[in-house]
Amino acid sequence: MSKEKNNKNISVEVIRSPLDRSKRTIETISYDGETVYELVKNNIPEQVQDIVVSISGKVIEEENWDKTYLVHGQQLVIIPVLGGGSEVLQVVLLVALFVFAPQIALAIGGPGVLTAAGTLSTFGSFLTAAVMVGGGMLINSLGPKPSMPKLGGFGETSEISQFFSFSPATKQRQGLVIPRFFGKLKLFGNVIAANTELNENNDKQILNLLIALSKGPIKGIVGFEDPSIFGEIKLNNQPIENFLDVNVEHRKGTLNQDLITYFDDTIIETIRDTLVSFGTPITFTTTGSNFDEIEVKIGAPQGIWFQDDNNVLVNHDVGIRIEISKASQDNFSTLFEGNITDNRNSLVKRTYRTLDNSAVNIENGFNYDVKVTKTTEDQTEIRYGDTISLSSVSTVITDDFIYPTIALVGIKALASDQLSGSLDFSWN
């Protein structure tokens, strides 16, 4: 598990009872780069299955707990919920309704609800039954409506298939079935590899996506064959011709198909975006050991610059040192030591690769520590921009994977005002 050894503090609030949220504990703890999953495991008993987690008000989906980290000063809130969603809560409310229905009927109907002996009158019984029926309908309306799963077929929607669902979209998930299709169909695919790189000016990101579509071989892919037969390729539900700086390649799923050009290496990128301050090195430990090279991206979110007396942004230097060692061996070799120089007040990034430095040797089968140090003092004057962060660490497998018998699409897209954030792909 990767950790940043920076000894920062975070606030952890744990709600102890799903029915009484005033029962809580709040404490400030030393944070050493644990994932949300580790923090939940350390604070909640294993038998508690249903939990909601938020970071500074933003709910974190459970599937992202093992790859989500906090930064200094953030608040983690852990809330157990009643198992099975709202069904148990409905049972609790129905029991309470059964117990208190006569009292509610008495409040509504007055003295006529009771007989002289203090028992329910006929009117009282009818009114109590009405309270229970009406209250039961109200409580049941708070829960989810029952639904039956349906298998997709021709002209039908499916609740278990991304291909025939009401709102299909490109997925990025392990364990999905690779479909085999017959005829002309609109598919969205599953992202099996993704990474980012920088353009030549080091000021914009390029996204590389490799999408598995189906079992092959197939006859054709949208946009690459006769459009009158195979339709068109779309990004975010728009024809790909509407976008600039987007390159697309495809393979039909043959046994000996060619490699997608920009996936000659398999790159697994871990986004960090962690502040690196002068005098406080940041260390990242790779989460796996099966790789051949390492790439480190350093970013300056607000740019690097100095504003001179004429209000002109001129070059400014920020010194960094990147070192790499086998994990826990504290035997670091220097990947890079020097200055990042720029004069922009927008995002600046640099990429440093072990492949380009013969002094750093990566052995497959070992975890590695990546340590980043800022070697120039932090500037406090507003005339300077010198904030530096560890943007990401990528592990690289240099073997070529052609994915035989899998129909593929590779997308290389430059981030722009046309295309940024999420990306959805479809073809016929």
Distance CA 402, CA 83 (A): 44
- How is residue 84 written in tokens? 């099975």
Residue labelled with tokens 């959805």 = 424
Question: Smallest Cα–Cα separation from 178: which of 253, 257, 263, 264?
Answer: 253
- Do residues 39 and 13 lie in contact, with contact meaning Cβ atoms separated by under 8 Å? no
Q: Which of 34-48, 157-171, 347-361 has the lowest mean pLDDT?
A: 157-171
Distance CA 99, CA 93 (A): 10
User: Containing H/E element for 412?
Assistant: strand 406-414
pTM recorded for the entire structure: 0.56
| pLDDT in the model for residue 3 | 42
User: Containing H/E element for 426?
Assistant: strand 425-426
Position with higher pLDDT, 171 vs 391: 391
The angle at the Cα of 90, spanning 89 to 95, to the nearest 5 degrees, equals 100
The angle at the Cα of 367, spanning 363 to 371, to the nearest 5 degrees, equals 100
- Do residues 139 and 94 lie in contact, with contact meaning Cβ atoms separated by under 8 Å? yes
| pLDDT in the model for residue 369 | 96
Confidence tier at 118 by pLDDT (50, 70, 90): low
Cβ partners under 8 Å of residue 98, min gap 6? 132
- Listing DSSP states for 18-38 in one string gives SS-TT-EEEEEEEE-S--HHH
Distance CA 174, CA 169 (A): 15
Q: Reply yes or no on whether the pLDDT at 172 is more than 70.
A: no
Beta bridge partners of 10: 29
The count of other CB atoms within 10 Å of the CB of residue 57 is: 8
- How is residue 286 written in tokens? 């790779």
Q: Reply yes or no on whether the pLDDT at 372 is more than 80.
A: yes
Read off the pLDDT of residues 311-345 as tens digits, 9 standing for 90 and up.
999 999 999 999 999 998 999 999 999 999 999 99
Q: Reply yes or no on whether the pLDDT at 298 is more than 70.
A: yes
Confidence tier at 119 by pLDDT (50, 70, 90): low
Position with higher pLDDT, 127 vs 5: 127
Read off the pLDDT of residues 65-102 as tens digits, 9 standing for 90 and up.
888 888 877 888 888 765 544 555 555 565 566 656 67
Beta bridge partners of 213: none
| pLDDT in the model for residue 296 | 96
Q: Averaged over 102-112, what is the pLDDT?
A: 70
- Listing DSSP states for 120-131 in one string gives BPHHHHHHHHHH
| pLDDT in the model for residue 114 | 65
Q: Averaged over 101-118, what is the pLDDT?
A: 67
Task: List Cα–Cα distances, 17 to 14, 22, 44, in angstroms.
Answer: 9, 8, 12
Distance CA 140, CA 93 (A): 10
Cβ partners under 8 Å of residue 157, min gap 6? 150, 164, 165, 166
Position with higher pLDDT, 54 vs 296: 296
Confidence tier at 158 by pLDDT (50, 70, 90): very low
Q: Reply yes or no on whether the pLDDT at 15 is more than 80.
A: no
Question: Smallest Cα–Cα separation from 131: which of 107, 155, 115?
Answer: 107
Read off the pLDDT of residues 174-223 as tens digits, 9 standing for 90 and up.
777 888 888 777 777 888 888 888 888 777 788 888 988 889 898 877 55
DSSP designation for 262: G
Q: Averaged over 234-256, what is the pLDDT?
A: 83
Q: Reply yes or no on whether the pLDDT at 140 is more than 70.
A: no
Position with higher pLDDT, 112 vs 145: 112
| pLDDT in the model for residue 390 | 94
- Average pLDDT for the chain: 78
